[in-house]
């Protein structure tokens, strides 16, 4: 390739590396700044009345305190349950370990609608557990009454985020030198002293990083609180939704969004710094894992897996069973067969099965866009300097920003020229890409960092141009990470609910929106179809995560 060709490639790369920044600026920063404008200057002049109402109203102060409190309790419970399991997965090698770890991540990407249906099928008033207890003990009423309670919110938060903490802590722990523990035992550290003085100090970076990320997800939790908590429990997320959509009080909704974005940016900046430290210390995954040697080891593994199965998988199994037994004496797939029908003959009715096609099309578009932007973003983050650290936090910020805030921002910012996309079907892939891109970056970046710099230098010395070096040296080394990122993006797009609820057109519903509509309709048939769609989404996600675990680059599991 001649000098002109090299110059064109250099210019193309300079332009391309601006694409993620431009995308973030147009579809994230611009809507957020529009929210700022509505809050700070609703009539074109500076007006802080929205913030004044937040500070002077006990209701909003209590809402913020409750949001922080429930997120903190959920984080403590999640870490407390994940830490013993992380010990088992980091210290022992056993059959089915990788499969179990991958399926444990499945709840994290399921939409809230599916999870609500799953827990209703398991422990709801007509769920399997209550039905068993009523039949067995001859009770007059279901003994387990968790609907619209704080306890149910905390349980589902643990259900969602358990795998996040498990994976981060496990990856870090399995790469610690086992001789440290052996030396501590020789010096007399056993039981709680070994945990308190050895394990916990060593794991502090991973525990802190996992805690920060879980806190972010619980702080910005929307569907869990809205659907399972009810009107008694309002977090910032729910209050933003209520003020913007129900009351159309945009200044207060925007002020709440600004408070949340500021808090989450600070938390995400802390997390990315911790994640960089963790990733730099991961050298060889599963280096210290060993086969169980004693009966006590085997019992520990069995109890841990049984606990995980009950906590994570029984609601999902109950969901699948109810989808084929609801309203029938035995097993029937009638609810699945009705997904393509229009029983009422309505002109405006969209068959639920059409939502599957819509979601697949949106997910494919989001995946392609996420991969392109994610690869370029990962190269921008390779340099370890102040700007790359700031950019890292900025790229992760959409993940920490509520779907409600994103949807609200799109509505108020993208409904007039030059970005009049309010009625465009392109808005859904854009929103899904904002949420999926951080996962793509977190999949690709560790693989890029693992490439030795002397390998790139050797390729250049042998005459390879930057393009050929990337095509024939770097791309093969990161190809598995690319596939992992693509799978993450596809599954996340399929299950995204909050932002889609704001911006989806009535004639192009996604899978989660179709489930939401069916659950809101009367009759057992609609409920059965909702369960059938939920099960389809569940099975697709399960297959995707098995694929992710098989493709994942060894040693790259720490960046979740």
Hunting for tokens 């407390």 — which residue is that? 80
When comparing pLDDT for 72 and 110, which is higher? 72
Q: What is the pLDDT of residues 441-480, one digit of tens each?
A: 988 988 888 888 888 778 877 777 777 888 888 888 888 8
When mean pLDDT is compared over 63-72, 221-230, 264-273, 533-542, the highest value belongs to 63-72
**Who's near 366: CB < 8 A, 6+ residues apart?**
429, 432, 433, 436, 489, 490, 493
Asked whether the beta carbons of 496 and 504 are under 8 A apart, the reply is: no
Burial pattern 458-473, b for ≥16 Cβ within 10 A else e, equals: ebeeeebeebebbeeb
Q: What single string gives the DSSP state of each residue in 29-53?
A: IHHHHHHHHHHH-TTSS---HHHHH
pLDDT confidence of 343, banded at 50, 70, 90? low
**Who's near 332: CB < 8 A, 6+ residues apart?**
324, 325
Angle between helices 97-104 and 295-308 (to 10 degrees): 30
Does the pLDDT of residue 373 top 80, yes or no?
yes
Q: What is the pLDDT of residues 166-193, one digit of tens each?
A: 988 888 887 766 666 667 666 666 666 6
CATH of domain 3-282+298-320+330-551: 1.10.3720.10
When comparing pLDDT for 244 and 196, which is higher? 244
- What pLDDT, on a 0 to 100 scale, did the predictor assign at position 555? 45
Does the pLDDT of residue 112 top 80, yes or no?
no
- What pLDDT, on a 0 to 100 scale, did the predictor assign at position 110? 77
Average pLDDT (106-118) is 78
C-alpha to C-alpha distance for 53 and 69, rounded to whole angstroms:
21
Percent of the chain with pLDDT over 70: 86
> 291 phi and psi, to 5 degrees?
-70, 145
Percent of the chain with pLDDT over 90: 14
> 143 phi and psi, to 5 degrees?
-75, -25
- What pLDDT, on a 0 to 100 scale, did the predictor assign at position 180? 67
pLDDT confidence of 125, banded at 50, 70, 90? confident
* Cα 190–Cα 193–Cα 199 angle in degrees, nearest 5: 95
Average pLDDT (338-346) is 66
- Copy the structure tokens of residue 512: 């989660």
Q: What single string gives the DSSP state of each residue in 482-543?
A: HHHHHHHHHHHHHH--HHHHHH--TTS--HHHHHHHHHTSSSHHHHHHHHHHHHHHHHHHHH
pLDDT confidence of 211, banded at 50, 70, 90? very high
pLDDT confidence of 370, banded at 50, 70, 90? very high
**Who's near 397: CB < 8 A, 6+ residues apart?**
28, 261, 264, 265, 268
Query: Virtual CA dihedral for 178, 180, 182, 183, nearest 10 degrees?
Result: 160
Largest CA distance in the chain: 86
At 282 the three-state DSSP class reads coil
Does the pLDDT of residue 368 top 90, yes or no?
yes
- What pLDDT, on a 0 to 100 scale, did the predictor assign at position 267? 84
C-alpha to C-alpha distance for 278 and 204, rounded to whole angstroms:
10
Does the pLDDT of residue 363 top 60, yes or no?
yes
Average pLDDT (308-336) is 87
pLDDT confidence of 285, banded at 50, 70, 90? very low
Q: Which of 313, 275, 284, 268 is nearest to 162 (CA)?
A: 313
How high is the mean pLDDT of the chain? 81
- What is the torsional sign of CA 338, 340, 343, 349? positive
C-alpha to C-alpha distance for 21 and 164, rounded to whole angstroms:
27
C-alpha to C-alpha distance for 6 and 29, rounded to whole angstroms:
34
- What pLDDT, on a 0 to 100 scale, did the predictor assign at position 306? 92
Average pLDDT (539-547) is 78
What is the residue extent of each domain of the chain? Answer: 3-282+298-320+330-551
**Can you give the pTM of this predicted structure?**
0.79
Q: Which of 108, 86, 102 is nearest to 550 (CA)?
A: 102
- Count the Cβ atoms, other than its own, within 10 Å of residue 134: 16
Q: What is the pLDDT of residues 68-105, one digit of tens each?
A: 999 999 999 999 999 999 989 988 888 888 778 877 88
Asked whether the beta carbons of 482 and 554 are under 8 A apart, the reply is: no
C-alpha to C-alpha distance for 257 and 275, rounded to whole angstroms:
26
> 419 phi and psi, to 5 degrees?
-115, 65
Q: What is the pLDDT of residues 490-504, one digit of tens each?
A: 988 988 877 787 788
Does the pLDDT of residue 195 top 70, yes or no?
no
- What pLDDT, on a 0 to 100 scale, did the predictor assign at position 558? 42
When comparing pLDDT for 352 and 348, which is higher? 352
Q: What is the pLDDT of residues 134-168, one digit of tens each?
A: 888 888 888 888 888 889 999 999 998 998 899 88
| H or E element that contains 416 | strand 415-416
pLDDT confidence of 344, banded at 50, 70, 90? low
- What pLDDT, on a 0 to 100 scale, did the predictor assign at position 158? 94
Asked whether the beta carbons of 17 and 399 are under 8 A apart, the reply is: no
- What pLDDT, on a 0 to 100 scale, did the predictor assign at position 7? 62
């Amino acid at each position: 390739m001649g000098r002109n060709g090299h110059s064109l490639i250099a210019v193309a790369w300079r332009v391309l590396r601006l694409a993620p920044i431009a995308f973030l600026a147009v579809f994230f920063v611009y809507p957020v700044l529009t929210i700022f404008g509505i809050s700070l200057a609703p009539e074109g002049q500076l007006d802080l009345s929205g913030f004044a109402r937040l500070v002077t109203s006990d209701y909003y102060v209590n809402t913020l305190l409750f949001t922080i409190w429930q997120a903190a309790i959920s984080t403590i419970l999640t870490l407390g349950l994940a830490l013993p399991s992380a010990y088992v997965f980091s210290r022992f090698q056993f059959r089915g370990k990788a499969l179990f770890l991958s399926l444990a991540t499945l709840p994290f990407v399921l939409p809230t609608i599916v999870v609500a249906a799953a827990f209703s099928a398991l422990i709801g008033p007509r769920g399997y557990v209550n039905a068993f207890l009523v039949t067995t003990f001859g009770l007059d009423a279901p003994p387990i009454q968790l609907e619209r309670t704080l306890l149910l919110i905390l349980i589902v938060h643990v259900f969602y985020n358990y795998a996040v903490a498990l994976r981060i802590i496990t990856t870090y722990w399995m790469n610690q030198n086992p001789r440290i523990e052996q030396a501590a035992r020789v010096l007399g550290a056993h039981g709680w002293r070994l945990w308190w003085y050895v394990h916990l100090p060593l794991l502090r970076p991973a525990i802190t990083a996992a805690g920060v990320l879980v806190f972010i997800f619980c702080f910005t939790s929307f569907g869990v609180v809205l659907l399972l908590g009810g009107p008694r429990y309002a977090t910032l997320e729910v209050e933003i939704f209520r003020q913007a959509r129900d009351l159309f009080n945009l200044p207060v909704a925007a002020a709440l969004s600004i408070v949340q974005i500021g808090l989450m940016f600070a938390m995400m900046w802390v997390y990315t710094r911790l994640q960089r430290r963790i990733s730099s210390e991961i050298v060889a995954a599963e280096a210290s894992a060993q086969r169980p040697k004693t009966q006590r080891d085997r019992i520990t593994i069995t109890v841990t897996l049984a606990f995980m199965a009950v906590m994570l998988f029984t609601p999902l199994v109950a969901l699948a069973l109810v989808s084929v037994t609801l309203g029938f004496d035995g097993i029937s797939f009638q609810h699945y067969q009705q997904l393509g029908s229009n029983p009422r003959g309505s002109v405006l009715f969209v068959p639920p099965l059409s939502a599957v096609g819509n979601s697949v099309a949106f997910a494919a578009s989001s995946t392609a866009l996420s991969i392109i932007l994610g690869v370029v973003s990962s190269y921008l983050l390779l340099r370890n300097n102040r700007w790359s650290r700031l950019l890292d936090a900025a790229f992760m910020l959409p993940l920490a920003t509520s779907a409600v805030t994103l949807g609200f921002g799109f509505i108020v910012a993208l409904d007039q020229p030059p970005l009049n996309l309010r009625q465009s079907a392109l808005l859904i892939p854009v929103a899904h890409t904002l949420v999926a891109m951080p996962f793509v970056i977190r999949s690709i970046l560790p693989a890029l960092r693992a490439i030795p710099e002397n390998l790139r230098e050797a390729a250049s010395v042998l005459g390879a141009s930057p393009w050929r070096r990337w095509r024939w040296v770097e791309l093969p080394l990161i190809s598995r990470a690319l596939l992992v990122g693509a799978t993450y993006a596809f599954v996340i797009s399929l299950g995204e609910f909050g932002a889609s609820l704001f911006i989806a057109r009535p004639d192009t519903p996604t899978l989660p929106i179709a489930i939401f509509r069916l659950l809101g309709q009367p009759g057992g048939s609609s409920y059965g179809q909702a369960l059938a769609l939920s099960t389809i989404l569940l099975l697709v996600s399960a297959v995707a995560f098995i694929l992710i675990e098989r493709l994942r680059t060894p040693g790259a599991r720490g960046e979740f």
